Structure 1
């Protein structure tokens, strides 16, 4: 990092003391991960703001196991103390430590300086990428969803399974109608299949099952204080908890919010900026998505292609800016993953939006019905 940034962070940067970790523990913060050595005692010069700290044991073959971690908004100049417990093979927070001892560590922080690694800010684009990926996440949102001091739960580890095993587990559980809720995770509860108001008529049930506008408006009003940035913040939190925390409940919530926003026909007309910002969030997420995760989870089961086809139909012909942003997003998917949305026209300029009664398109593949948990409710009249 440049000297000016170093000087600012020397005064404003936070410190994480990570005491007594076993050697060869995988330790990471945000995008950065290391294998701990005998001299490692934590990280210094952490920029104020949201961070995700994670760790996992490593097998004899050098394969990291399932991760445990926690989100935290670090304050300027904060010193956070965590200590490894050999009994639980986990970190003790300050409430589980001797209070006086923790305060002594903080008061003698300069003695740890040579054993603290600086938060990586070279290249600075890594820090900018992390900020762009989490810019809508607020303290109140984090505390609501991960109320246990930001700690993220994860799938049980068996024989130090690595990330490919997580992908297999996600794929196995994708088709279940009932998704197990992991402990300590409190995402907003809603069912995309129940997207119509109480007492709705048959025609209303059919309409609002295909168009999720009513449900989205209800959630914005009841949960997100009528501010769609909070909804996008939950989408971001679900993504990073999946990507870095390897948490299945978070992945399921990410899918639900993506489906919700891709299926709002009327709301795209009413609030185009919401969907422009939604596309920006998706673009940044796909930029960070590993290829194995994309192919094994997002493209193989056709979830993403179904939702993006639905979204493309809902973009009004009059909103050229949003249509062009969608085209640019699709092009980035092609460039990074060499993947096209099956059934999507090469250009959206001639794209014909479905009318409110959902008239049938000529392209049979483009009209492929959603199946399983994402199928809409159709009421025969």
Structure 2
């Protein structure tokens, strides 16, 4: 029995043709039936005719997929793998990432079309050779694949734009991993070289609870790990273990095949094999491994390094306390070092990390998102006029409100997705596809007083409430009001300055009381 389409796009024929011609197209070839495929915040179960998505609006998009019957995962669903790509405004040309992602306009885009083919051996959607990809792109422009392309749900685009309005192609180029693929299994791999290259990789995944990791030559304390984070980290570790087991099995099979080949060559070859490898074989193997190309799924995102505590040499205790109470200087330094001094660049990075976490199930993405939220909410002077960075805080609160609205609202109430004749069934938003409960738990920490978000929001909103007249820009005040209303409606949080009274005892985020020995005075 045929399943009903999950959503319907109703357009005039002329408008539909114009969108098909001017909008971007992601052509996906060979993705196995029954796979999970997501585009932005919409998801599909892949049917036999599904070949991608058309009518993509301009801007940054995120695609994610997981295939059934994965040989590397015992025949179950493989790990979720995602990648960012960009559709240029005006021409509708779909553009890949930058140099780090290994994608370029010539290698990944063909007019209005981005082409990916599923490689069963790698279990990845990979790019095609240039000439072959251009032939497929020409077929898309001739509407040869139109019956297998699901139209983008244009009614849901507004919500996606709210989630990514500060995220552009530069963020994709600068932040994405080597190869462009964001994958839980890749994050779990302890790649020391990649961690060194990606100074912004905040030690997520491989690091244990409360670990201190080297980031850009400095130690960063990630802080205590929540139970939900531990569960997600365990998922990443299991993914790495599955990959290691698959590699060991492949090596054993290759060794067995080599032994059979030696037997077939006769006694002399067998004697030579029994004598063992040359003494230099270990060194040779190590050199070969070192020179081997990096797998397209290896590596971690190149996030901006952010330190939980400011530990600058030469500061007095009073100055250190002030620097940690108001982290405006750290915010300005991070923006200057990575985004040309534009604090909105950090808001775009916040949006990148959120998408990677919620839609790509990236623990590294969650940790960077949490670090950025904590940094913004612990700024005082930077958020108030006449600081030049003050306008960026309205964008930050708007981004945070959109993210929390998506993560906390019932997935059933979110807009659906349309198979559009492509035999693809909606699985709901990516946030609610079996990952939503964990997302909500990580974001809210159970909603109690130990929730980092609740604590830091209360502090920041208190700063705005106590600011002098004219110091809070109208746009920032409006966004703060909307965020308060959203959290009050969805989770019952109230930020009136009274809700935290009496909750400082044993509070992780409360002030630390140090008892001095007798006779010691400060």
Residues 294 and 103 of structure 1: CA distance in aligned 2, closer, same or farther (over 3 Å): closer
Task: Name 2:486's counterpart in structure 1.
Answer: 332
Contact 2:164-2:348 within 8 A present in 1 as well: yes
Contact 2:177-2:299 within 8 A present in 1 as well: no
Task: Name 2:163's counterpart in structure 1.
Answer: 133
Task: Name 2:255's counterpart in structure 1.
Answer: none
Find the residue that maps to 2:483 and give its secondary structure: helix
- Deviation of the 1:307 alpha carbon: 1.1
Q: CA RMSD in A?
A: 3.4
Find the residue that maps to 2:332 and give its secondary structure: helix
- Deviation of the 1:261 alpha carbon: 0.8
Q: For 2:66 and 2:187, locate their aligned partners in 1 and report how far apart those are by CA, in whole Å.
A: 10
Task: Name 1:68's counterpart in structure 2.
Answer: 81
Deviation readout 1:218-253 (Å, 9 max, x if unpaired): 122222212121111111111111111110111100
Task: Name 1:145's counterpart in structure 2.
Answer: 175
Contact 1:268-1:314 within 8 A present in 2 as well: no
Find the residue that maps to 1:39 and give its secondary structure: coil
- Whether 1:248 and 2:363 are equivalent positions in the alignment is yes
Residues 285 and 295 of structure 1: CA distance in aligned 2, closer, same or farther (over 3 Å): closer
Residues 346 and 369 of structure 1: CA distance in aligned 2, closer, same or farther (over 3 Å): closer
- Deviation of the 1:329 alpha carbon: 1.2
Residues 368 and 275 of structure 1: CA distance in aligned 2, closer, same or farther (over 3 Å): farther
**Structure 1: gaps spanning 5 or more residues:** 159-168, 349-361
Find the residue that maps to 1:206 and give its secondary structure: helix
Q: For 2:462 and 2:84, locate their aligned partners in 1 and report how far apart those are by CA, in whole Å.
A: 37
TM-score normalised according to structure 2 size: 0.59
Number of residue equivalences: 343
Find the residue that maps to 2:184 and give its secondary structure: coil
- Deviation of the 1:132 alpha carbon: 1.2
TM-score normalised according to structure 1 size: 0.79
Residues 31 and 317 of structure 1: CA distance in aligned 2, closer, same or farther (over 3 Å): same
Q: 1:365 aligns with which of 493, 503, 507?
A: 503
Q: For 2:27 and 2:504, locate their aligned partners in 1 and report how far apart those are by CA, in whole Å.
A: 54
- Deviation of the 1:149 alpha carbon: 5.1
Contact 1:24-1:35 within 8 A present in 2 as well: yes
- Whether 1:93 and 2:238 are equivalent positions in the alignment is no
Q: How does 1:1-381 map to 2 (within 5 A)?
A: 1-3=10-12, 5-58=15-68, 66-75=79-88, 76=92, 77-94=111-128, 97=129, 99-109=130-140, 110=142, 111-121=144-154, 124=155, 126-148=156-178, 150-155=180-185, 175-178=210-213, 183-194=299-310, 197-269=312-384, 270=387, 271-290=389-408, 292-293=437-438, 295-299=440-444, 300=446, 301-315=450-464, 316-318=467-469, 319=471, 321=474, 322-323=476-477, 325-336=479-490, 338-340=491-493, 344-345=495-496, 363-365=501-503, 370-371=508-509
Decide which structure has the larger Cα Rg and report it.
2
- Deviation of the 1:273 alpha carbon: 2.0
Q: For 1:327 and 1:185, locate their aligned partners in 2 and report how far apart those are by CA, in whole Å.
A: 33
Find the residue that maps to 1:345 and give its secondary structure: coil
Find the residue that maps to 2:132 and give its secondary structure: helix
Deviation readout 1:95-133 (Å, 9 max, x if unpaired): xx4x43323222333322222222222xx1x10110111
Higher relative contact order (CA 8 A, sep 6+): 2
Contact 2:458-2:497 within 8 A present in 1 as well: no
